[in-house]
DNA sequence: TCATTGATGGTCT
DNA sequence: GACCATCAATGAG
């Protein structure tokens, strides 16, 4: 069994667009009660910060968005439409409030059901709001570079479900792996 | 294949 | 009380 090494905090402390593209193909690992769940990240969206009208942090620092404003390398998990959780990764220095939404996973190990769609990412990993703010530079929830990373082709598209954000809705901030069957809404 | 809708809750005004 | 970074099931074409 190869030992999976959590990516260092410096990985997250960079331009969110760069982090988003490099996250594609990485392995997301969640260990709970000796069960290890692993999914390959195949689809992400970048949210750039308070100036990005589509980002939660655009409405200022609140109880809900507190984690986004914090230091990089932490998990921002929120509930949407009452029944779904979405997993984000905080990027850049404390105060920038940028983050990457993990939209889809390709099952590698112990995933429950499909990992396709931002709500199902959390469901398949058994993540809930108690993980909000969790440090990803840890050994129970983290992202690691797999031993063999296939060459991938990245597709850039506008983000989903953010039509209210004016010109920001048109920006190509959604990234996914070309021709991957686990990507949502191809 | 596309459009509609129900389930469901936290956050902000 | 309105608004959502949703999903699955349904029914019409």
Q: Does any domain span residue A3? A: no
Domain residue limits at A79: 9-177
* A100 CA – B10 C1', rounded, Å: 21
Q: Does any domain span residue A121? A: yes
User: CA A157, A171, A83, A98 torsion: positive or negative?
Assistant: positive
A163-175 tens-digit pLDDT: 899 999 999 999 9
Q: Does any domain span residue A4? A: no
pLDDT at A116 over 90: no
Question: Which run of H or of E encompasses A98?
Answer: strand A98-109
Please state, in angstroms and rounded to a whole number, the distance separating the CA atoms of residues A42 and A24: 5
Q: Is the CB of A79 under 7 A from strand C?
A: no
Residues A30-48 have a mean pLDDT of: 95
Residues A94-122 have a mean pLDDT of: 93
Q: Does any domain span residue A2? A: no
Please state, in angstroms and rounded to a whole number, the distance separating the CA atoms of residues A105 and A21: 14
CB-CB neighbours of A177 under 10 Å: 22
Q: Is the CB of A184 under 7 A from strand B?
A: no
Structure-block tokens of residue A99:
């983050």
Average pLDDT over chain A, rounded to whole? 94
Residues A117-142 have a mean pLDDT of: 95
Q: Does any domain span residue A182? A: no
Structure-block tokens of residue A185:
């809404």
Q: Is the CB of A143 under 7 A from strand C?
A: no
pLDDT band of A150, cuts 50, 70, 90 = confident
High-pLDDT (> 90) share of chain A, %: 89
Nucleotide nearest to A83 (CA to C1'): B8
Q: Does any domain span residue A183? A: no
The domain that contains A155 carries what CATH number? 3.10.300.10
pLDDT at A9 over 60: yes
Phi-psi category of residue A111: left, alpha or beta, with phi > 0 → left and psi -120 to 50 → alpha: beta
pLDDT at A1 over 70: no
pLDDT given at position A2: 57
Give the count of domains, chain A: 1
A52-89 tens-digit pLDDT: 999 999 999 999 999 999 999 999 999 999 999 999 99
């Amino acid at each position: 069994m190869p030992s999976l090494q959590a990516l260092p905090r410096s990985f997250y402390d960079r331009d969110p667009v760069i982090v988003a593209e490099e996250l594609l193909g990485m392995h997301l690992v969640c260990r709970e009660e000796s069960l290890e769940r692993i999914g390959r990240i195949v689809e992400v969206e970048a949210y750039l910060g308070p100036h990005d009208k589509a980002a939660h942090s655009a409405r200022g620092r609140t109880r809900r968005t507190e984690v986004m404003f914090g230091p990089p390398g932490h998990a921002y998990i929120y509930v949407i439409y009452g029944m779904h959780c979405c997993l984000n990764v905080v990027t850049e220095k404390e105060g920038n409030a940028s983050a990457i939404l993990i939209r889809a996973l390709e099952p590698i190990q112990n995933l429950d059901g499909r990992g396709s769609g931002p709500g199902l990412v959390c469901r398949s990993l058994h993540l809930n709001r108690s993980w909000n703010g969790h440090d990803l530079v840890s050994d129970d929830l983290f992202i690691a570079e797999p031993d063999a990373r296939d060459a991938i082709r990245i597709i850039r598209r506008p983000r989903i479900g953010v039509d209210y954000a004016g010109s920001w809705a048109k920006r190509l901030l959604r990234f996914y792996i070309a021709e991957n069957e686990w990507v949502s809404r191809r």
